[in-house]
Chain A
Amino acid sequence: MEFNFEMMAVVAVYFLGLVAVGAWASRKVRTSEDYILAGRNLGFWVFTILIVASICSGMTILGTSGLGYVTGWPTIWEQVFVPLSAAVCLLLFGTKLHAVGRERGYLTVQDYFADRFYSNNGIRGLSAVTGILVSLIYMVGQFVAISMVLSWLFGISYHAALMISALIVTAYVIMGGLYAVAWSSLIQGMMLIVGVLLVGPAVIRSAGGLSSINAVLAGIDPNFVQPWFPDWYPGAAAPYAGYAFATPIFLVSFFFLLSFGLASAPHVINNVFAARDAKYFKWAPLAAFSVYVVVMYLVKITGFAGRAMETEGQIALPSGVSNPSDYVFVLGAEHAFPSIISVLIGVIVLAAVMSTTDRLMLTIGTYFGWDIYKRFLRPDARDSTVTFVSRVAVAVAAVLTLILAWSNPPALLAWLIWMGIGLMLACYVAPLLAGLYWRRATREGAIFSMGLGLLGAGVAGYWYQFVHVLPVHFSLYGFALSILAIVVVSLATAKPSEEVLDGTMTGPYIRKRQARGEGGPGLKR
């Protein structure tokens, strides 16, 4: 790409807009609840888009089209399962967490765990430290993606791109907390949706249309147009090709990993406490899923189009980079549009990356400021001190991530990111589901579940990367262990008190029916 002035101007205006949002938001931050939860005052669309934008990252855009390029249609399920995670988060976790959280004054999901599992230090510490760790891993991946795109688009160095993007995001997160993150996510989400709706169809058209793309894909490998790759386990030692991992049994583990693992991610689930009104949980699951699935299908098919265009010699992926397929979205869009409009692509990817990065940063800051500092180290700390410590923690997290992302793409980056999501699935999902819906789940069960889940996923992840390929995603082993642990250990330990269970609305229902003289709290609804 040639450096040009118009492009820099557009991106500069975008960056200035974000800093302006941060400055506006900083005037609304008076208490730690304002900083961490935007005063529990987010409106319907800001809230719904915040959930989608938190999940939808830069890796999502680049990685999704890149995966489409490499594997064809069998991995389209990722584009069903990821949008589904937004609905799972809102419906299965969010509806009840929001109701209990408002009543009991939770600021983070650790407050829920500590309350439901009557353990302030053990489970809060385990959950918060895991959350900070996986968020840091995830954030390194985001920064690498953002710098890759910026340096590609503007011809500036990778390190300059890294510094600029980190400074902008850190500035508005420190200033405005969740107010700034939520409102900038609305801007970023809109740009992402409009951008993909413009770029996607144009790239597909310039590749000759969907039927022609599919004909080229089927010519490369007939399985590219099948809904999944053929099973290889246990008959063979490995799939017939490295890209043919998406077998039916693998896709089952992928479903749990994405639909439940991402739904329980710290930077996603904590948003549910910030909604202004419990009624939002009525339509938000459908709204979030529908918007997200359309955008993701388009991005994925853009990757297919890129594969067809490359096969026919219209585009060439860069050589000398470790992840050439991740460039397919950018290259396809460049081919479909004259260069001036390709600024749009840069802005799309930037918007996607920044809307996740800012939420991750805020998560690390609040987990440290609230869960570790206020609830563990200094229970008598003043409220303004908690906000200050959170802001300092955001800055420290940014510097730490910069150091980790400084050596241009670490080879293990993709594995690290999968490891991050895998650890979330193995650590949070079983205690959340059991805590919300099963009155017999106990403190000891939850602690064993988290500990064994992390251990199982860690060992299986190491095995998969350094020993031998596994038939299902490695996180499934940890997840199975965490479910087993919470059931067995809970049944072997003393039942929680009725007071705790009723106070946290525990039981096999999603929503308590309003008191209108009909139905009881035990009604499934």
Chain B
Amino acid sequence: MFGLPFETTFLVIAAPALIALVLLFWALRW
């Protein structure tokens, strides 16, 4: 996708998404 290898595409999207999920979890557990 976007002319990038699958591994790169996956990591550059998954990493920030995972962090955002953890921070969302923190807010919802407050």
Instruction: Point out the residues of chain A lying under 8 angstroms from B20, CB to CB.
Output: 286, 289-290, 293
Contact between A214 and B2 (Cβ–Cβ < 8 Å)? yes
**Residues B1-30 near A (CB distance < 8 A):** 2-5, 7-8, 11-12, 15-16, 19-20, 23-24, 26-27, 29-30
Contact between A225 and B23 (Cβ–Cβ < 8 Å)? no
CB-CB contacts of A485-513 with B at 8 A, as 1s and 0s?
Answer: 00000000000000000000000000100
Give the CA-CA distance A146 to B14 in the complex, in Å: 34
Q: A210 in the interface, Cβ–Cβ < 8 Å?
A: yes
Instruction: Point out the residues of chain A lying under 8 angstroms from B12, CB to CB.
Output: 73, 76, 227, 297
Contact between B27 and A73 (Cβ–Cβ < 8 Å)? no
Residue of B nearest to A80 (CB): B15
Interchain CB contact (< 8 A) of B4 among A83, A87, A225, A285: A225
Contact between B30 and A282 (Cβ–Cβ < 8 Å)? yes
Instruction: Point out the residues of chain A lying under 8 angstroms from B8, CB to CB.
Output: 73, 225-227
Contact between A91 and B3 (Cβ–Cβ < 8 Å)? no
- Main secondary structure on A side of the interface with B: helix
Contact between B3 and A84 (Cβ–Cβ < 8 Å)? no
Contact between B3 and A218 (Cβ–Cβ < 8 Å)? yes
B8 to chain A, nearest CB (A): 5
Chain A: residues with Cβ within 8 Å of the partner, total of 29
Contact between B16 and A80 (Cβ–Cβ < 8 Å)? yes
Q: A516 in the interface, Cβ–Cβ < 8 Å?
A: no
Give the CA-CA distance A312 to B11 in the complex, in Å: 28
Residue of A nearest to B10 (CB): A227
Give the CA-CA distance A511 to B27 in the complex, in Å: 12
CB-CB contacts of A190-226 with B at 8 A, as 1s and 0s?
Answer: 0000000000000000000011111100100000011
Give the CA-CA distance A73 to B5 in the complex, in Å: 11
Q: A283 in the interface, Cβ–Cβ < 8 Å?
A: yes
Interchain CB contact (< 8 A) of B19 among A84, A215, A282, A525: A84
**Which 3 A-B residue pairings sit nearest by Cβ, starting from the closest?**
A214-B3, A211-B3, A286-B23
